[in-house]
Structure 1
């Protein structure tokens, strides 16, 4: 397979050079051969989450072959702990993973550019060839799928002419959320670096067999006609933004005390996105809304381990039906009220019972209502830049080009701030990326 990237008049060649199957180093015990998906897994969107970590060639004497062998060996050991990811799951109506140890596809590719040149020239959409089998969000082309089943995880290791490496992984959202994928990459790196894995080992939760026939609460979103851009917001600018939000809420007579960086930034990004959409719509405000996937691991009364595998998040929904809804005291006030309601849920069993009581009609109506909403998902507190395979920390950890109206908040490369990866329609993005009110905090 040969992919060609044309940018700035120079042809960059990205070539797949090998494919193989990596199986778990130890067989999965017979009592763990079936991994039931939770109800949160079953109603998750049918997509793949793509994350890539870039590493410079820090040691010229460290041979590429040695790196590859160590990566494959440590991956095999990691799959022993993450055994559901080496199994097979149905592509539709999946209720469980068959943990049969068939393994995952491990792909190697080469790029004729240096890592620095590639990163300087590339937009998010140009990262697509780094990911295996076109498993980018909803653009999934599964190889060798003859029985309607697929492996939840695929890995591609990309080598650059300078010796730099990009390790790309993509995970089926039916088996785990973005936190699950970052946990996996972190554990794999820890095993590879021969460090203590006691803090990175996964917690495999076990669920009773339940099946719920609900439509995707978040319908498929497209990348057609959209563009993904990154905006970096340093800590000092975020502090300024938090101060502005606090002042605005005090002036409105409904003070929001100590807004978090994520709260303030999500509000500002949605505010400026709606301003762009209104301007493009000849000044007419178009109702929309905000969705906040919120990690349940640390929010339920009975805390879940941070390394728990699965879709362990709930979604806070807030409609923005008019301009007044964009005021920070309303947006953040409603966000906090709805989050507090989830914090009162005692444990995962209770949360599951709440979901199980949802009717297909209610879910369908919810899906239709929130389809035009904007999603703001935060991974900013995860130590992505501590992922060290034994050759130093990454210079960049990011996502492939996302899908329409999705914004993911990532930690900044140097730890100073938050990087927002945004995907909008092209015309809206032109306005947003030149918006002085947004750029004032970059």
Structure 2
């Protein structure tokens, strides 16, 4: 039954919602798991949705029809929710300190798009706009949707060529980028193997830490990410091949063995500062804000499949334009990283991130850089191969920001950078940055 249509003029793309279904866990959640208490860090995050889009072309290795793929995704999602049981639950309010694991389920939306996947993908890769948001369920893209008590939403988009776009939105209340990556890997493995008890699936079982119950929610300062869409923001993709990254590393002599992230984020930030301060009569302090996974810093170490927000914060302060050299920036990032390595418990993690958010908001001159490199998004295989594109971006929500992800073949880093249009015009034409990448 046709439920709704969205028609985009200009490009004449017809996007039609064809079905909506609630997917519940295949087995009821036991009574002793009825309440899932949010950790200190979980409570500090706003009820906004992290959006992941995976594009899969129609290829010869899979003989499944579109309907077959949908059925397979729904069945394996139901099986997955027996292990990720909080994801099928609800929050009573945005500030509730626990998830009611009531098995109400996950909304699964199916839609048809009249474009060919490769053409649509080209549009999104070249110039991301509001079109991408239509691929996600119920406007669950960073902002708090009208369905804010839900924790996860899924939309399966069928393209005219037989390719699909699988869009998944996860509430930041229950997890970070690492949690989303583990969840997608588990779901895909269940789809491929057909069972949650398969030997390849069991090592991917989620790890939960039960936090103490509390009725007084903790609050971090106002969130860095705005929930208001900004009409003048532009997102562009820049690809840094490993060969170019190696050359970039050779320009750094301040520390030994700089990482890919350290040199790429430093170059992007250096270029961002130059682009956004061009024409200014005086240099005002600028900040590079970097959230970082701290599971390995805990004592004892937490498994990578630990569910929740385990995020520390690094903040590099730039007080003068001379401090934007690669050597200075890479050295400062390394110093901040050493400080974060001292965060070895949940209480220390909350204190660290509270301080990080507070310091990040002291000025509007702040560049936000999040790295998802090393996470398994580009290897999420439901049985029809790896995605041709895996993307999480800030889109039209946050200016002066970038997300770094591995290229599909892991032969480089993809940076999706967001600025106001006038700043992007300067940024994307910077000769030094372009010598290490292509867009």
Normalised by the size of structure 2, how large is the TM-score? 0.90
Distance in 2, Cα, partners of 1:118 & 1:213: 42
CA distance in 2 between partners of 1:64 and 1:368 (Å) = 46
* Alpha-carbon shift at residue 368 of structure 1 (Å): 3.6
Cα distance between partner residues in 1 of 2:12 and 2:408 = 28
Q: CA deviation at 1:176?
A: 0.8
Q: Which residue of 2 aligns with 1:56?
A: 57
Contact 1:128 1:400 in 2 (8 A): no
| Range with greater deviation from structure 2 (213-222 or 308-317) | 213-222
Cα 1:390–1:369 change in 2 (3 A) is same
- Is residue 427 of structure 1 aligned with residue 427 of structure 2? no
How far did residue 331 of structure 1 move?
Answer: 2.3
Residue 134 in 1 paired to residue 143 in 2?
A: no
Counterparts of residues 7-406 of structure 1 (less than 5 Å)? 9-59=10-60, 61-122=63-124, 123-125=127-129, 126-138=131-143, 140-143=144-147, 150-194=149-193, 196-210=200-214, 211-216=216-221, 218-221=223-226, 222-224=228-230, 225-246=232-253, 255-279=254-278, 281-282=279-280, 284-345=282-343, 347-352=344-349, 354=351, 366=359, 368-369=361-362, 372-402=365-395, 403-406=398-401
Q: Are 2:394 and 2:401, in contact at CA under 8 Å, matched by a contact in 1?
A: no
Structure 2 Cα separation of the partners of residues 353 and 396 of structure 1 = 34
1: CA distance, partners of 2:298 / 2:208: 18
What is the Cα-based RMSD across aligned positions, in Å? 2.1
Structure 1 pair 227–29 and aligned structure 2 pair: CA distance change class (3 A): same
Once the two structures are TM-superposed, the CA of residue 46 in structure 1 deviates from its matched residue by 3.8
Cα distance in 2 between the residues matched to 1:310 and 1:88:
15
Show structure 2 runs of 5+ residues with no match. none
Residue 249 of structure 1: aligned partner = none
Change in CA separation of 1:263 and 1:116 when aligned onto 2, cut-off 3 Å: same
* 1:314-333 deviations in Å (ceiling 9; x for gaps): 11112222213323333222
Instruction: Give distance in 2, aligned partners of 1:204 and 1:269.
Output: 36
| 1:316 to 1:218, Cα distance in 2 relative to 1, 3 A | farther
Instruction: State the 1:42 CA deviation.
Output: 1.2
- CA deviation map 1:6-44 (0-9, x unaligned): 4xx430111111101000111111111111111111112
Distance 1:53 1:67 in 2: 14
Question: Is residue 2:34 matched to residue 1:4?
Answer: no
Shift in Å, 1:183: 1.4
Output the CA distance in 2 between the equivalents of 1:327 and 1:91: 46
Q: CA–CA distance in 2 between the matches of 1:284 and 1:390?
A: 56
Q: 1:325 to 1:363 in 2, by over 3 A?
A: closer
Structure 2: how far apart are the matches of 1:97 and 1:142?
Answer: 18
Deviation at 1:198, TM superposition (A): 2.2
Q: CA deviation at 1:104?
A: 0.8
CA distance 1:332–1:45, shift in 2 (3 Å)? farther
Aligned residues of 2:154 and 2:167 also touching (Cα < 8 A): yes
- Measured against aligned partners, the alpha-carbon deviations of 1:340-374 in whole angstroms (never above 9, x if no partner) come to 122233x3345257469x7xxx7995464155421
Q: Are the equivalent residues in 2 in contact too, given 1:44–1:217 (CA < 8 A)?
A: no
SS at match of 1:92: coil
CA distance in 1, matches of 2:109, 2:218: 35
2:96–2:217 contact (8 Å) kept in structure 1? no
The whole-number CA distance in structure 2 between the counterparts of 1:323 and 1:26 is: 59
Asked if structure 1 preserves the Cα contact closer than 8 Å seen for 2:399 and 2:418, the reply is yes
Deviations along 1:171-201, one digit per CA (max 9) or x if unpaired, are: 1111111111121111111110116212322
**Distance between the aligned counterparts of 1:37 and 1:433, measured in 2?**
41
1:387-425 Cα offsets, whole Å, 9 max, x none, are 100011111101255321221101112211000011111
SS in 1 for 2:134: helix
- Report the alpha carbon displacement of residue 339 of structure 1 after superposing the two structures with TM: 1.8
Relative to structure 2, which stretch is displaced further, 318-327 or 404-413?
A: 318-327
Is this contact kept in 2: 1:217–1:366, CA < 8 A?
A: no
1:409 equivalenced with 2:397 (yes/no): no
- Name the counterpart of 1:146: none
